[in-house]
Amino acid sequence: MFRSLAVAVLSLAAFLPASARAHCDTLDGPVVVSARKALESGKLNPVLAWVRPGDEPEIKAAFTRARSVRRLGPEARELADTSFFETLVRVHRAGEGAPYTGLKAAGQDLGPAVPAADRAIASRSPAEVEQLLVETVKKGLHRRLAQVNARAAPGEDVAAGREWVEAYVPYVHWVEGVYGAAAGPVAHSGPAPAKHPHGGADSHGHGEAPAAGHAEPRGHAKH
């Protein structure tokens, strides 16, 4: 059973909404790392992959300015680099439909999911991420189902029935949300985070797989 779940859930991270904790806005995140290499090498194309085609002129202009100013000395170099990082991250975040809240210091606590995802790319093996996601989804499922089963299904006791419904509705929403994320298309969805139900753990997998309590499941719209 959970072997099948493991295969399905591997794509879950691709559908998680951008958040203030995303490592794309950190000084040791992949966007800034790419920018540092570009400023040193003069090769901008790897950086342009992080922005939409329509945003390329702004990034190219910022890059040209930074490369020119950083020749003026150490202090100018630091200011020019930071300005380019800020511009690039802001434009990248806008392309994801996420707000720019400034550059974050390196070494942020990103929880287990993001570092595991990056290590999987480096190792070319999904094993670590697969184990993390399967264990997290399994725990979330068992806990929510237990909350439903601990209550009496609706019957003569209306108050008790309502307690059952209060556990049942988020349980079904969560199951459908996780399934929809895992079974959906792999392509990047662009700036439409509202389409991705979320609400339980934060968007980088702290604690468990994301709850989908904000999305009405098919057949349960009246709950």
Per the domain annotation, does 212 fall within a domain? no
88 and 123 share a domain?
Answer: no
Helix axes 2-9, 127-149, angle to 10 degrees: 120
Region of 107 on the Ramachandran plot (φ > 0 left; ψ -120 to 50 alpha; else beta)? left
164 and 60 share a domain?
Answer: no
65 and 119 share a domain?
Answer: no
66 and 128 share a domain?
Answer: no
53 and 90 share a domain?
Answer: yes
Residue 188 pLDDT level (bands cut at 50, 70, 90): low
CA distances from 187 to 14, 77, 220 (A): 8, 37, 28
Per the domain annotation, does 106 fall within a domain? no
137 and 34 share a domain?
Answer: no
Q: Across all residues in the chain, what is the average pLDDT?
A: 81
Residue 185 structural domain:
2-19+111-195
Indicate whether 77 pLDDT > 60: yes
8 A C-beta contact, residue 196 and residue 16: yes
116 and 83 share a domain?
Answer: no
Q: What is the pTM of this model?
A: 0.66
Say how many domains are in the chain: 2
Per the domain annotation, does 105 fall within a domain? no
Per the domain annotation, does 214 fall within a domain? no
* pLDDT, tens only, 87-100: 999 999 999 999 99
CA dihedral sign, ordered 121, 126, 128, 131: positive
32 and 67 share a domain?
Answer: yes
Average pLDDT over residues 1-25: 48
According to the model, what pLDDT value does residue 120 have? 96
Residue 201 pLDDT level (bands cut at 50, 70, 90): very low
Distance (Å, whole) CA 7 – CA 137: 12
Both tokens of 37, joined, read: 């290499």
Indicate whether 215 pLDDT > 80: no
79 and 149 share a domain?
Answer: no
Give the list of residues 6+ apart from residue 51 with CB closer than 8 angstroms, or none: 59, 88, 91, 92, 95
Per the domain annotation, does 87 fall within a domain? yes
Per the domain annotation, does 116 fall within a domain? yes
Per the domain annotation, does 209 fall within a domain? no
* pLDDT, tens only, 106-157: 999 999 999 999 999 999 999 999 999 999 999 999 999 999 999 999 999 9
Domain boundary pick from 43, 67, 95: 95
Both tokens of 176, joined, read: 């459908």
According to the model, what pLDDT value does residue 220 have? 42
Distance (Å, whole) CA 106 – CA 186: 29
Per the domain annotation, does 140 fall within a domain? yes
